[in-house]
Structure 1
Amino acid sequence: MDRRCCNCYKDLLPFMVLVGNECIITGVYTLFKAATLQGMSKYVFVAYSYTVSTILLLPFYFFYTRSVFRSRVVPKLSFSILFKIALLGVVGCSAQFLAYAGISYSSPTLSSAIGNLIPAFTFILAVICRMEKIAIKSRTTQAKVWGSIISISGAFIVTFYKGKSITITHNSSFFHLQQPNHILTSVDTNWAIGGLLLTVSNILLTIWFVAQVEIMKEIEDELTLVLVHNLFATILALSVGLLAETNKSLWKIRLDISLISIICTVR
């Protein structure tokens, strides 16, 4: 009985972690949208996010490498590995910029919906890279294929068709449905642009995930990979941010939703 409960817990744990991660991501995107409505720049947001993450990670990494409980040795980083991690940082940082730009044009709701494309894109890329084998008669393969088709179709629909608007009238507590929007006449330009940017961001994230798997085969140390990746991403984010936002006042973080949103993105 105990063994069965243990196995059940192990099966549910990845699912629970993924659901929790999605909730956190949705919350972060919502906080970011609220911060941008108060004048915060997406370039400044990404730059500070990576900077704070790297600063907090450095002492933890130092303790991790000096700890007597650590059994593994810090791997040596060759130029080839550093170059690959640098490219990984470029891809990850670019994905962040595009994601937050897409949210600026649309909403966190659209971001969460299009985020469902990542498993589909990952499956497709894994098949192309021969990391995943397709067995047509296998139920697992069929589930992955149909899941990919449904998620891609859903993302397309939610991008180009927003549906009815629900409002609350002043004279009544009842909800009021406005006239339905039609797919050919009601496409909001900013909404479509946001959907496109979010889609490209998810494609980059897919490449980012698959590339991490390949790099981990060479470095075999998760924390070292995360630290070096964050260092490169921080340098890139700060460089892009300083070039894109020359107004010094935009770099001043107030004690409001802007600071909270940056702290919540620390990863």
Structure 2
Amino acid sequence: MKEYVGMVAAQTAQVLLMIVSKVAIADGMSNYSWIFYSNALASLLLLPLSLIFHRSVNRPPLNFIVICGFLIIGLLGFLAQVFGYTGISYSSATLATTLLNLIPGFTFILAIICRMETISFGSLVTQAKFIGTVVSVAGAIMVTLYEGPQILSSPLKSEILKNLIGLPSNWVLGGIFLAIDADFSSMCIIAQAFVLEKYPAEMIVIFAYCFIYTILSGLTSLIVGDELSSFSLQPKKRLLSILYSGVFGSAFQVTVQAWCVRRKGPLFVAMFHPVGIVISTFIGVIFLGDGFYLGSLLGSIIVVIGFYSVMWGKAKEVKIVAVSKMEDEQAPLLQDVEEQLTPSSS
């Protein structure tokens, strides 16, 4: 259950990150200054931790292919964040949470193309993974787009919630940017899986990932000519949002995600994005004064059904692979026994 708990915690951090980033960007920070500070702080945290957890005795050797992999996941992650935060600034955290549920579908397709997921349309395992992915995405979209009658009201009244949930007039442009973000995020998850297969040291990989983010965001900010005021950490809520983003949004969340990618594969990680919309609904009810509606209840149930379907398919797939591997290992032994029992012809 460690991977499940880790991904739920990572998705909770991701949902809160969207809310925090919306507040900071709305207060005047540019997308690039936000990314620069967040990933610079994450890099400072991950550098000593990666050296502690991956000491020289168990640190895999670096080579040219691995370094190229670092650059690729850093670039893909940077593009995903730029499009994502731009989309949030044009729209809302709610729309961002909804459209990021395209990630499981995109990741599933890419994983099949890259042969990370086996597919056989006549197989019950493949059908479970495919149908579960579609159902989870549909349930997540339902939570956001269908409200229905109110089931539970909250005594809290929050002006912050209205600012975050309300969709501005240019939400269509924001939606386009967020859809591109989902595409790059899926590519980044697949690239992480390739890199971690060659270099299974999660913290070093994520340190390189955040460090490349920092360099790219700093250079881009200079090129586009961001005003110096966008780099100011005043008022205090900017500083607090950067601290949260660097510690939990980048260092913690991305490291846990990479760890789960290595242990369970890219589709397992991607399937937790629809769970994020359920988490955001409960956060809204408990902390932001949002109501709980019938659409949220029905959509959450649908997400859970789809999520369970995919996880069931993945579990069955692991068993099939284990049985096949055991049979392959036993085959030479049985052949040797048969040869010993068979009398030799003279």
TM-score by length of 1: 0.76
Give the equivalent residue in structure 2 for 1:42: 31
Match of 1:214 among 161, 170, 194: 194
Deviates more, 1:107-116 or 1:247-256: 247-256
Please state how far the C-alpha of 1:157 moved relative to its aligned partner. Answer: 7.9
Percent of aligned positions that are identical: 32
Distance 1:139 1:203 in 2: 27
Distance 2:8 2:60 in 1: 33
Please state how far the C-alpha of 1:103 moved relative to its aligned partner. Answer: 0.5
Deviates more, 1:94-103 or 1:129-138: 129-138
Query: What is the SS of the residue equivalent to 1:45?
Result: helix
Superimposed CA distance per residue, residues 228-257 of structure 1 (whole angstroms, 9 cap, x where no aligned partner): 222222111111122224311221111522
Is this contact kept in 1: 2:22–2:93, CA < 8 A?
A: yes
Give the equivalent residue in structure 1 for 2:226: 246
Distance 2:235 2:53 in 1: 32
Superimposed CA distance per residue, residues 164-201 of structure 1 (whole angstroms, 9 cap, x where no aligned partner): 9x9xxxxxxxxxxxxxxxxxxxx975211111111111
Larger Rg: 2
Distance 1:207 1:50 in 2: 20
Letter in 2 for 1:232: I
Superimposed CA distance per residue, residues 13-43 of structure 1 (whole angstroms, 9 cap, x where no aligned partner): 4333322222211111101111122212111
Say whether residues 1:33 and 2:18 are aligned partners: no
Residues 138-157 of structure 1: matches in 2 within 5 Å?
Answer: 138-150=123-135
Distance 1:154 1:198 in 2: 18
Name the CA shift for 1:53/1:30 in 2 (closer, same or farther; >3 Å).
Answer: same
Distance 2:225 2:138 in 1: 37
Distance 2:143 2:172 in 1: 10
Residues 106-117 of structure 1: matches in 2 within 5 Å?
Answer: 106-117=91-102
Match of 1:83 among 68, 73, 78: 68
Say whether residues 1:20 and 2:9 are aligned partners: yes
Say whether residues 1:54 and 2:43 are aligned partners: yes
Distance 1:86 1:149 in 2: 32
Number of equivalent positions = 231
Query: What is the SS of the residue equivalent to 1:135?
Result: coil
Query: What is the SS of the residue equivalent to 1:265?
Result: helix
Distance 1:205 1:75 in 2: 26
TM-score by length of 2: 0.60
Please state how far the C-alpha of 1:107 moved relative to its aligned partner. Answer: 0.7
Letter in 2 for 1:112: T
Distance 1:158 1:245 in 2: 39
Question: Quick check: which one's helix share is greater?
Answer: 2
What is the Cα-based RMSD across aligned positions, in Å?
A: 2.8
Give the equivalent residue in structure 2 for 1:6: none
Name the CA shift for 1:254/1:188 in 2 (closer, same or farther; >3 Å).
Answer: closer
Say whether residues 1:257 and 2:242 are aligned partners: no
Letter in 2 for 1:191: W
Please state how far the C-alpha of 1:99 moved relative to its aligned partner. Answer: 0.7
Is this contact kept in 2: 1:117–1:151, CA < 8 A?
A: no
Residues 229-244 of structure 1: matches in 2 within 5 Å?
Answer: 229-244=209-224
User: Where do 5+ consecutive residues of structure 1 fail to align?
Assistant: 1-9, 167-186
Distance 1:63 1:145 in 2: 40
**Runs (4+) of structure 1 moved beyond 6 Å?**
154-159, 161-164
